[in-house]
Structure 1
Amino acid sequence: MKKKTYEELIKESPVTYEMYAEMVDDGNRYEISDGVLELMSPAPTTTHQSVSHELLFSLNTSCRNEYIIYSAPVDVILSATEVRQPDLILIHRSRMDIIEERGINGAPDLVVEISSKHSRRRDKVQKRIAYAKYGVPEYWIIDLSSFTLEQYVLEGERYELAEVYAEDETIRSQAVACASFSMNELAQGLPVLPDRLK
């Protein structure tokens, strides 16, 4: 069977994970949102990548005995027509059966998106709805423009904004109790500070 290109697949509806997995590798990253193939934003900024690295280091230091931690790109297959590539995910070691060679087959315990001006609407609206719909217990959005962490906790079928952390406030999580850091601690490891912190 001939592999399809992005241009061919966006004309089909709904796009499934199997179709996406078989498409031509053109070097770009994609997600499937409710059966629609979406091209992801341009390559992340150096600040985005540095924050991701520092957060991964912090969570590995405090949580690696309890959680498996992945950073992008990794496919999180929430359903046949909903596939996301979060910046970071944590999966409790008691739930390792959702980890497959092709990606994560189900809802992680925690999803983290590092939001920029290019991805803000997608992260705060579309992904928030999708992660709640498929039962991700906790969702963090790190907003680089304000250098804050928005913590959303699943209440029933929707997220409630539990807290917004900034500066020296210690981030605490019921879903991932081992997490313990502040935004200023993350900032200390950045080679170039975001404009807001200069």
Structure 2
Amino acid sequence: MSEKGQDQAKIHIKEQVLTYDDYATINDGNRYELAGGKLELMSPAPSVTHQLLSIEMIKKFTQSCESDYIILDAPIDVILASTEVRQPDLVLVHRNRINILSKRGVEGPPDLVVEILSPSTRKRDKIDKLKTYSYYGIPEYWIVDPAIFVLEQFILQNERYELINIFQDSEIITSPNIPCISFTMAEILNKIPPSLI
């Protein structure tokens, strides 16, 4: 193949839109998301603080919501379309919608997705995923900032997210969509060793 032909082949490969089936065959030791048919590398691994925050939130969800909701944590594929596969940190799916769960992952919009910010994911979580999750009709999206222990709550209204609350300290976190939720960021913070804050 000529040099020009090789360059054209490379361009074709780069422009190829990947689907879930392509994504599912990748086994190189890395974690990816599929955004608009393009792979996005998820690295480096989350920090210990990030992981502890996630674990403590799972405990809170489990205490009050487990009878009504399936609670899942990363890595879990949320398959929103054949070319859109995301891996939120936490996912809640109401048990009356259990039909969207499959062996592959969550196939459709969950009731709640939670992203815990990392330096490498801040822009993706606050801009790209905000647009993606609203486009695919996820009714509620939380962004948790472990640097300041604040939770931003977005609710889908007229096909767009509205920031309806910012929870911090001892404010009780509630949800207009998920009545079983009730905890505070202070309760979470108290479970994390001071050396990691």
Fold similarity call, TM over 0.5 = yes
Task: Give the drift of 1:12.
Answer: 4.8
Residue in 2 that maps onto 1:3: none
Are residue 88 (structure 1) and residue 90 (structure 2) matched?
yes
Are residue 59 (structure 1) and residue 69 (structure 2) matched?
no
Pick from 99, 104, 109 the counterpart of residue 111 of structure 2: 109
Pick from 5, 13, 25 the counterpart of residue 16 of structure 2: 13
Residue in 2 that maps onto 1:151: 153
1:31-70 matched pairs, under 5 angstroms: 31-70=33-72
Task: Give the drift of 1:13.
Answer: 2.2
Q: Distance in 1 between matches of 2:85 and 2:193?
A: 32
CA deviation string 1:66-112 (max 9, x = no partner) = 00000000100000010000000000000000000011100000000
Residue in 2 that maps onto 1:5: none
Q: Distance in 2 between matches of 1:172 and 1:59?
A: 12
| Higher normalized helix content (fraction of residues) | 2
Task: Give the drift of 1:35.
Answer: 1.0
Name the larger-Rg structure. Answer: 2
Pick from 135, 138, 141 the counterpart of residue 139 of structure 1: 141
Q: Percent identity?
A: 51
3-state SS in 2 of match to 1:86? coil
Task: Give the drift of 1:22.
Answer: 1.5
Task: Give the drift of 1:194.
Answer: 4.9
What letter corresponds to residue 121 of structure 1 in structure 2?
K
Runs of 5+ unmatched residues, structure 1: 1-9
Residue in 2 that maps onto 1:161: 163
What letter corresponds to residue 58 of structure 2 in structure 1?
L
Q: Distance in 1 between matches of 2:62 and 2:133?
A: 23
What letter corresponds to residue 111 of structure 2 in structure 1?
D
Report runs of 4+ in structure 1 exceeding 4 Å deviation. none
Aligned length, in residue pairs = 187
TM-score by length of structure 2 reads 0.91
3-state SS in 2 of match to 1:132? helix
3-state SS in 1 of match to 2:14? coil
Q: Distance in 2 between matches of 1:192 and 1:179?
A: 26
Q: Distance in 2 between matches of 1:18 and 1:49?
A: 29
Task: Give the drift of 1:131.
Answer: 0.3
Task: Give the drift of 1:175.
Answer: 1.5
CA deviation string 1:119-144 (max 9, x = no partner) = 11000000000000000000000011
1:187-198 matched pairs, under 5 angstroms: 187-192=189-194, 194-195=196-197
Q: Distance in 2 between matches of 1:49 and 1:19?
A: 29
